[in-house]
Amino acid sequence: MFSIQPIGYIQSCYQEKFGIPRQPNLVSEAKARINLLETFSLESVRGLQEFSHIWVIFRFHLTAEQGWHPTVRPPRLGGNQRVGVFATRSTFRPNALGLSVVSLSGIVECNGQVSLELRGADLLNGTPIIDIKPYIPYVDALPHAQAGYAQQAPLSQVKVRFALQASVQCQQKSTQWGVNMELLIRQILQQDPRPAYRTTQQDHREYGMRLYDFDLHWRYDADGIEVLDLSEGSLPHTKH
């Protein structure tokens, strides 16, 4: 037995599990930062700024207590075919550890706290970070590797359009949060966050997810997705 302590926590736009992209770098406009604990000074990241990408090892803290099963139904197989848990990137796994390669856009220090600025992370706000390592292309990039059922990037590129009200709200939220909010939402929804079994059915229901400090609402129709509004406050998201 051994115990592991976090080295820091992530601050990200994703305030709930639903809607987070299923892998990193699918939503490049998603900015996040890893705030290191005070034990870790600038010395601990000296030289890391020379790397464009880092590996982030983290704990799926939200679901860690829910346990795991030996087989899993990955969304990439339509959610109805089982494979072994170790043949998936499922969040439900024995030690609840996640691994993501993300873009490192900067390293800052403020009042003794070191933060790493990231893009493209697939982590929930508040996720405990276990370790960070530089991404080294000559060992980590293997373009000819076989990847079973996940050889290609997901095809889903649902068309996303914005109701007038949502466009106006996006402009305000872009200024507030320093991101291109319309682009961020478009990139998230193009991944189609619905459970796999719903994507093959006619679906006219409304969906919601919590991003930053607002609730995002959208619905599906024959043309794709219409973003309805961005509303203040946290609404219960029971519709998915």
List interacting residues with ligand SAM (CB under 6 A). 17, 20-24, 60-63, 89, 91, 98-100, 122-124, 127
Nearer residue to ligand SAM within complex by CB, 91 or 187: 91
Nearer Cβ to ligand SAM (63/174) = 63
Residue 98 CB, nearest distance to ligand SAM (Å)? 4
Q: In terms of Cα–Cα distance, which of 30, 58, 32, 179 is closest to 116?
A: 32
Q: Give dist(CA 183, CA 174) in Å, integer.
A: 10
48 vs 101, beta carbon nearer ligand SAM: 101
Q: Are residues 63 and 45 in contact, defined by beta-carbon separation less than 8 angstroms?
A: no
Q: How far is the CB of 102 from ligand SAM (least distance, A)?
A: 9
- The values of phi and psi at residue 106, to 5°, are 180, 165
Beta bridge partners of 211: 14, 214
State the minimum distance, in angstroms, from the CB of residue 238 to ligand SAM.
Answer: 17
For ligand SAM, the closer of residues 63 and 231 by Cβ is 63
Instruction: Count the residues in the chain.
Output: 240
Six-digit token string for 31: 């900015």
Nearer to ligand SAM, 8 or 98 (CB): 98
> Could you tell me the smallest distance in angstroms from the CB atom of residue 64 to ligand SAM?
7
Distance separating alpha carbons of residues 16 and 24, to the nearest angstrom = 16
- Give the span between the Cα atoms of 167 and 227, in whole angstroms: 9
Minimum CB–partner distance for residue 5 and ligand SAM (Å) = 16
